[in-house]
Homo-oligomer: A and B are copies of this chain.
Amino acid sequence: MYQEIMKERKAQIESEFSKIKSQLPDGDFKDIFMYPIEAGGKRVRPIILLETVKMLGGNLEEAMHFALALEMIHTYSLVHDDLPCMDDDELRRGKPTTHVIFGEGNAVLVGDALLNYAPELMIKGVKTMREPLHGIEAMETIMNASGVHGMILGQVYDIENENKSLAIEAVRKINALKTSQLIEAAFVAGGHLAVCSAKDIETLRSIGRHLGISFQIQDDILDVTSDVEHLGKPIGSDKKNMKRTYVDILGIDACKSEVMQRTEEAKKLLGSLNGDSAFLVALFDYLASRIS
């Protein structure tokens, strides 16, 4: 059941991306622009946003613009992060990274284009909504999460601290910004789109925080325990980039137990909200035990 919905949502998201592709100006850039989107991925963020809206009784069609925008922002951040002047990674999702195939100039432009497209898409969404002001709140949530007070700040700290010995607090701070912010935004934007109360928004934020941290810890675990075939990128890339991870500092066992603990906490909070949370519960369990 869970896997069917997951597959269906993924297909739905990818079909929406195809529609976007068909509306892009003709020429080579169309394929370059879509390359990192079409390279795949779990689509965790847009699925969380859509399923949060569904659980809370909101309008899924209206929510789609915001879900796609969130995935575009996540994708642009990977494209720029993989550049030689950043993490210099050549493999992602089992495929060569954008700059490896299309050159660095195009990779910079594709990232810019994806980041610019996200608000364009959300504005389009807002304009068709029955309650546009809630759409504005959702858009603000997403853009703030990806900006200088969110993901980009995490990226900045990450660069500043490469090659430095960090305490666990610093690692937590960097990851809370770099990874958790967009995942939190998926829940909170979903809440705004479903027009829920300020109290429920705060609950959604806490769920997103637990899930975001647990997601990053699981990533760090996989970076040392998985293999390139499952992961789609070289293992040990954190070590190569001289990044301190949760695993370095806490050890694998403590990491695994934190993932479990936060997943349970997130599920408990989810249970306090109205609506059918079965799919999200299953998603949380999947994320905690994923191998890629």
Contacts and interface: CB of A to CB of B under 8 A. Distances in A.
Given A119-B143, A143-B119, A156 B109 contact: yes
Contact of A80 (B103, B112, B160): B112
A288 interface: no
Contact of A116 (B109, B140, B146): B146
A123 interface: yes
Interface in A22-39: 24-25, 27-29, 33
- Which bucket holds chain A's interface residue count? 35 or more
B148 A33 contact: yes
Contacts of A152: 109, 112-113, 116
Interface of A: 24-25, 27-29, 33, 76, 80, 83, 85-86, 103-106, 108-109, 111-113, 115-117, 119-120, 123-124, 126-127, 132-133, 136, 139-140, 143-144, 146-149, 152-153, 155-156, 159-160
Main secondary structure of the interface of A (DSSP, over half): helix
A147 B105 contact: no
A144 to B, nearest CB: 6
Contacts of A86: 105, 108
A76 B115 CA distance: 12
Given A85-B103, A103-B85, A143-B120, A108 B108 contact: yes
A282 to B, nearest CB: 33
A147 B103 contact: no
